[in-house]
Amino acid sequence: MHVAVLFFAFALTGTTLALDNGLMRTPPMGWLAWERYRCDIDCENDPKNCISENLFMDMADRLAEDGWKELGYVYVNIDDCWSSKQRDDQGRLQPDPKRFPGGIKKLAHYLHNRGLKLGIYGDMGKLTCGGYPGTPLDKIELDAQTFADWEVDMFKYDGCYSNATEQELGYPLMSKALNATGRPIGYSCSWPAYQGGLPPKVNYTQLGEICNLWRNYGDIQDSWDSVLNIVDWFFENQDALTSAAGPGRWNDPDMLIIGDFGLSMEQSRSQMALWAIMAAPLFMSNDLRTISSGAQSILRNKMAISINQDALGIQGRRIVKKSGIEVFWRPLSKNASALLFFSRRTDMPYRYTTSLSKLNYTAGSYKVFNVFTDETASLKDSTEFVVSVNPTGVVMWYVSAPAKFNLRQFYQGGTLHGRVYDDREENAIPRVFL
């Protein structure tokens, strides 16, 4: 709640730290090819899964016809390996003629006609990571104009085969070039992932001014280990990362792998919930033509999505880290918040006893909505409760504003910070963050 107050105060000054293209005031949602389809260009033997216009049109059909679009999943994003190995005779990038015979502009129209948006991919080096033509410094303006001509809506700029100096010049230059086209194009920068993801090497203030989202860390793989690795990194470095995020500028822990091969249902709920806490972009990388109903119900969870998409855009934090159990918290609009209990156990459910007051909530009576079971409860701050969290699973709550709310007690300084406490501190922790 206190965070909300701070944010509004800040917003009133009239400045903005986000890229000034008006886009992505909430984390972008959609579908992205890479994790699931990689650089599969073997359309002869694997026509349903190869990187081709058919794949993107298939996914567009699913997003538009199966109700995903209405939930917010509107981007359909091409990743690496879409282009011809040669630029055209005017030096422009061009799609592989066999796999994208209609061209990118026609594909963009196909999407736009269905209320969807198209994303495309490039790389700052001489080559993309997959070995296709890159977009080095001297090609930035040309390629930005090409994407705009094709009516592309989002651009991811990767960094393979480029050095730090080129990146320092190129990422801001591309931002300017995209803006200069006059077309609103969401801009995803892989820059910080190539700089180790942390200040002082990464300048998150600058990133917020030139990019709409950025990859801070390595690529996700289709495994629970990979999800845990990403989650660990993002929350161990939350002090450096959370302040970078806000409307129009997002940390990107990479794609949702829900519906693929590596996650159990518990783990799928955990990824969805943790990405919601992180205010992360929600790009599914899966097969929407064959996805199971179980995975669908997680990806379509309206309360998880609304937490992710909260208008304040404040990235959540880990507030408890004990052996086997962790608790995460994200402040939301209307003085509400999200609470997430996450078990690291791999044996039996963790029965965790706590109270809202122990979790830094102020005195009052709260309404609690369980995101994945739709149960509701009323809870006083002082009431001890037990939450049973399955191995590798989560319990996620939307917590409404307290019945009694004293604004003064939240606003006692000018900086926003949280803290992680451990067992030893538990009886000594302050009740309020600020």
Q: How far apart are the C-alpha atoms of 237 and 61, rounded to whole Å?
A: 39
Is 224 among the residues that bind its own copies (CB under 8 A)? Answer: yes
* 79 binding its own copies? (CB under 8 A): no
Which residue of 225, 408, 427, 428 would you call a contact of its own copies, by CB under 8 A? 225
Does 168 engage in binding with its own copies (CB under 8 A)?
no
Report the relative pairing of strands 350-354 and 385-389 from DSSP bridges: antiparallel
Output the 3-class SS for 391-407: CCCEEEEEECCCCCCCH
Residue 283 sits at the vertex; the CA angle it makes with 153 and 245, to the nearest 5 degrees, is 85
Contact pick of 163, 205, 292, 378 for its own copies (by CB under 8 A): 292
Stretch binding its own copies (CB under 8 A), from 116-124, 244-252, 386-394, 399-407 = 386-394
The token pair that represents 255 in the structure block? 């794609």
Cβ(330)–Cβ(338) below 8 Å = yes
Q: Which residues carry out catalysis?
A: 158, 219
Which amino acid appears at position 390 of this protein?
N
Question: For residues 322-361, which are near its own copies according to CB under 8 A?
Answer: 346-349, 351
Select from 75-83, 147-155, 215-223, 317-325 the region that touches its own copies (CB under 8 A). Answer: 215-223
The residue from 14, 97, 200, 261 that contacts its own copies (CB under 8 A) is: 261
Rounded to a whole number of angstroms, the minimum distance from the CB of residue 197 to its own copies is 22
Instruction: Determine the Cα–Cα distance for residues 268 and 233; give it in Å rounded to an integer.
Output: 19
Q: What is the DSSP string of 94-120?
A: -B-TTT-TTHHHHHHHHHHTTT-EEEE
Does residue 210 contact residue 186 with C-beta atoms inside 8 Å? no
Give dist(CA 422, CA 407) in Å, integer.
28
Q: How far is the CB of 261 from its own copies (least distance, A)?
A: 4
Q: Does 266 bind its own copies (CB under 8 A)?
A: yes
Q: Measured from the CB atom, is 187 or 283 closer to its own copies?
A: 283
Assess 61 for contact with its own copies (CB under 8 A): no
Residues that bind its own copies (CB under 8 A): 35-38, 40, 45-46, 49, 221-226, 260-267, 292, 294, 346-349, 351, 386, 390-393
